[in-house]
A and B are shown apart, each in its own frame.
Chain A
Amino acid sequence: MIEIRFHGRGGQGTVVASKALAEAIALEDRYVQTFPEYGVERRGAPVMAYTRIDNKPIYIRSKVYTPNYVIVMDPTLIGAVDVAVGLKSGGSIIINTEKRPEDYKNFIDKGYKVYTIDATSIAIKHRLGSKASPIVNTAMLGAVAAYTGLVGLNAVVEGVRKLSPVKKDENVMAAKEAYKIAEEVKNG
């Protein structure tokens, strides 16, 4: 079983990203469970969502404490919350930032793999959200698909199309663009 934890801020579409990923996994005929950490939701406040993926039915119903992957939608969360808490040894952190992976030396020193993608720029380019608060979730999903190989691009596109309330085409383009960039980074 693969476990994922999403970190974001209220208003960035973190929970929708986890749902779109779940749709994509289901399209590939696998089992998936996804749920947000419920508290007092406010715009800008730290939020979390969890996803489990397996090839057989998923019975565990507790929260995710030891994820294989951590997805950080907003780089300003790093330092504000311990995004790596419980991350499995050798696990991966995928961060929305213009910085490079080597800028996150503290994570690399702990043996984690770090991947970065400038999802904010991609979202602004495709006019998703506003410049001040772009909605980065679909670009992040594209990058996650490429970096992790957890799910195929076609399924992600379908999931994004289904879950985007508006600007479906723009969201799909953002996911595809981020996927392409991440693929290139991954293949050096």
Chain B
Amino acid sequence: MRSVIMGNHALSYGAKLSRAQVIAAYPITPQTEVVELLSQLCANGDMKAKFIKVESEHSAMAASMGASATGARAFTATSSQGLALMHEVLHWAAGARLPIVMGNINRAFGPPWSIWTEQNDSIAQRDTGWLQIYASSNQEVLDSIIQSYKVAEKISLPIMVILDAFVLSHTYEVVDIPEQSIVDKYLPPLEMEYKLDWKNPHAFGGLTKPDWYYELRYQIEEAQEQAKKLIVDTGKEFKEMFGREYGLVEEYKMDDAEIVLISSSTIASTLHVVIDELREQGKKVGLLRIRVFRPFPSEELRKILKGRKKVAVIDRNISFGHEGAFFTETKAALFNEKDHPPIFGFIAGLGGRDVTPDVLKDIFNIVETTEWPEKDIYWIGVKL
């Protein structure tokens, strides 16, 4: 059904269609409406799920973990400071191999106080063992929740579906909300091999000495590796049933592209328009959108970027004292390649600063007219 919905509600409907059974959440701007709709759907019986009011995001994740450990499908959502407060338990959820799916609306940290978009909140969680998917439309937000349960439950790891504050979370656009019966065919009920069950008691997460802890960490890495193929395969299966395909990356006008602009989320969406305009001017330029940040698609990047003349990465995040995270990972992926192209790193749009087509054209102009990066990192549009 074609509906006009905001990104926040795309998360809510994704959880509803996935038949999430337990929702534990604490409201935080701009995520609040995700929780409002879910609590309403639970209260009026449209969703057969237990809604747990908690007193903090740390408790929201702890309750999600408890629910997931019993074999229930758990969902939560947060933003910014709320995600930061979950940090400790995020490690636990991944270590316990719980297939929780969470929505995170990218919002800048305070101080100074901000409610606008920036990726630093989710980037700060990159080493927790969670998979990270960055969506670039409300349709993709909804579809990614459904796909994420399918992937998470196969590899027993939690997944974060991430979207930009306001630019998606509070933007209304046309979204096709799929039929429940088709979603049910794509996503069967969760059956966990090991779960908390009082009839068959087990201990979970007990003290593990150095003789085995190391192997358990290796298995998380194996599962992350396995997820790469699984995301591609479940994305193809999704296309067969729903007509839309999602993989690790999205390529746009890349066939003969000499200059490649790399970004994520809604900056990558706007880049489509810029690429079209530059192509009309005869520029051989293409877009590579990194959709999945964990696991990082290094192999795909090496393959796709082989033989290109120049690459630029645009980050809406900053690892202070260094550079943007997508830039770091892209460089690392190509470092051992012979004759890899020069890679330019740009910071743009922190704290919700609008990233317009003109800003992106400025970036292209720098890349086009500079033979090799003259700076470690380019900050675009700083007024100082």
Contact = CB atoms under 8 A, between A and B. Distances in A.
Interface stretch (B144-152, B153-161, B353-361, B367-375): B353-361
B270 A59 contact: yes
Nearest to A159: B4
Contacts of A59: 269-270, 272-273
A62 B270 contact: yes
A32 interface: yes
B interface residue count range (under 10 / 10 to 19 / 20 to 34 / 35 or more): 20 to 34
Interface string A25-62: 01001011111101000000000000000000011111
Contacts of B357: 60, 62
Interface residues of A, number: 19
A119 B356 CA distance: 34
Task: With a 10 A CB-CB cut-off, give which of A31, A32, A60 has the most chain B CB atoms.
Answer: A60
Given A23-B4, A62-B356, A35 B172 contact: yes
Given A26-B2, A59-B270, A38 B356 contact: no
B172 A33 contact: yes
Contacts of B115: 38
A141 to B, nearest CB: 14
Given A32-B173, A38-B166, A26 B273 contact: no
Nearest to B170: A35
A41 B172 CA distance: 18
A62 B355 contact: yes
Contact of B174 (A31, A60, A61): A31
B173 A58 contact: yes
B294 to A, nearest CB: 23
A176 interface: no
A60 B30 CA distance: 21
Q: Which of B116, B170, B174 has the most CB of A within 10 A?
A: B174
B4 A22 contact: yes
Given A22-B4, A26-B4, A32-B4, A61 B269 contact: yes
Given A31-B174, A33-B172, A62-B355, 11 more contacts: A19-B4, A34-B4, A34-B172, A34-B173, A35-B167, A36-B170, A38-B30, A38-B116, A61-B167, A61-B267, A63-B354
Interface of A: 19, 22-23, 26, 29, 31-36, 38, 58-63, 65
14 contacts: A19-B172, A26-B2, A26-B174, A29-B2, A32-B172, A34-B171, A35-B166, A38-B166, A59-B272, A60-B270, A61-B266, A61-B267, A61-B355, A65-B356
